[in-house]
Amino acid sequence: MTHHCPPRPDDVSDPRSFVDRMRALKAWSGLTYREIAARAQRNGDSLPSSTLATVLGRATLPREDVVRAFVRVCGGEDETDAWLRARSGIVRAAWTPAGPDGATGPAVNDGEGTDGRHQMADAAVAAVFAAGCLTSWWLGKRLGSRATRPRHGRGTH
């Protein structure tokens, strides 16, 4: 039985089911990874076949730009908004409600906040910066202690 309408993400509620539905959309389109990559490039998007294979092989929520490019190629421009809304709903649901202090936080961290910023990249930059500061401090302490340490046995008699 051939379906005339592309698979839609209307009832998905988690990253795994979202990616499963993306796989169904790819199968429905009948396109290969390379054909999808070539069409995405013609649309002005960047979606290498290796990236697409990785995205469809995982059970984590893909980035918004990947979803947009993929759906434009496989499902058509008219379907893009529905997919992006479903993705946003999953991201929103992953955030815990406000606690007694009013603070919210991620229940599941897919690497992006609700504003689409890549928090994992921000954390990596902060970690590298902190490591550099600690290394600089430690080297300064080590080199400084060598410069001020008295040398025994060399002309100090």
Tell which residue, 126, 114, 56, has the closest CA to residue 90: 114
The dihedral formed by the CA atoms of 79, 7, 41 and 111, expressed in degrees to the nearest 10: 90
User: Would you call 16 helix, strand, or coil by DSSP?
Assistant: helix
pLDDT, residue 114, reads 41
Across the chain, which has 157 residues, the per-10-residue mean pLDDT values are 79 95 96 97 94 95 96 91 95 72 50 46 62 71 64 59
pLDDT, residue 98, reads 56
User: Would you call 152 helix, strand, or coil by DSSP?
Assistant: coil
Burial of residue 105 (CB within 10 Å: 0-12, 13-18, 19+) is exposed
pLDDT, residue 34, reads 97
pLDDT, residue 39, reads 96
pLDDT, residue 104, reads 52
pLDDT, residue 40, reads 96
pLDDT, residue 103, reads 56
φ, ψ for residue 112, nearest 5 deg: -135, 145
pLDDT, residue 154, reads 60
Q: Which residue has the tokens 């918004």?
A: 64
pLDDT, residue 116, reads 43
